Amino acid sequence: MRVITGLARGRKLKEPEGHNIRPTSGKVKEALFSIIQFDIEGRRVLDLFAGTGQLGIEALSRGASTCDFVDKDRAAYQLVKDNLALSELTGGRVYQSDSASFFKRGERYDLIFFDPPYGFLNPDKIIEKMVQFDILNQHGIMVCETDVDIDLPEVAEPYQKGREYRYGRVKLTLYTRN
């Protein structure tokens, strides 16, 4: 698992032990960053269910101003901290927290990566909480990575569910705030 491009290009990141953390595949990560490539530089990013932190680290490497990494799992929290140190990038903050508690902080983001563990029972509930707490800035983008069989909900204005992209068993769904 490596950083694809930017300041930390080629930097090798630590991979998880066991099967509790599922990193985004290289193919899907490249496709994802191809989709949002012009919406990263100078942006505030949230990597929710951060796992290894590779998505947020990639965003920082490509010029994001800050990235908050959130995962409630202690092993994931430590793995993100280790990978952030390995990347030698600045602007990252790591939080061990569940998503609902983190949303109550009232911070807003330009770009959100939402990549819950496969088999996570209620991704639509987390999306509803994000809309309820209104954590996406105007013209912001949220990218949701799920199993291809998961149908994510439509959302109320000013949020809008956008295009879906499929890569084997993985689906990326975009949401925006107009």
Whether 83 maps to a domain, the answer reads: yes
102: which strand partners? Answer: none
CATH of the domain at 41: 3.40.50.150
CA distance 55 to 69: 10
**By residue range, what is the domain housing residue 139?**
28-146
Whether 18 maps to a domain, the answer reads: no
Instruction: Spell out the residues 6+ positions from residue 20 whose beta carbon is closer than 8 angstroms to its own.
Output: 73, 75, 76, 117
Peptide bond into 158 cis (omega under 30): yes
Whether 115 maps to a domain, the answer reads: yes
Q: In the numeric block, which tokens belong to residue 177?
A: 């705030």
pTM of the model: 0.94
* C-alpha dihedral, 119 to 125 to 147 to 21, nearest 10°: -50
Ordered per-residue pLDDT tens for the chain, 178 residues: 899 999 999 999 998 876 566 678 889 999 999 999 999 999 999 999 999 999 999 999 999 999 999 999 999 999 999 999 999 999 999 999 998 899 999 999 999 999 888 766 688 888 999 999 999 999 999 999 999 998 999 999 999 999 999 999 999 999 999 8
Whether 126 maps to a domain, the answer reads: yes
Domain count, the chain: 1
Whether 154 maps to a domain, the answer reads: no
Q: In the numeric block, which tokens belong to residue 115?
A: 């990549």
CA distance 161 to 26: 25
Whether 92 maps to a domain, the answer reads: yes
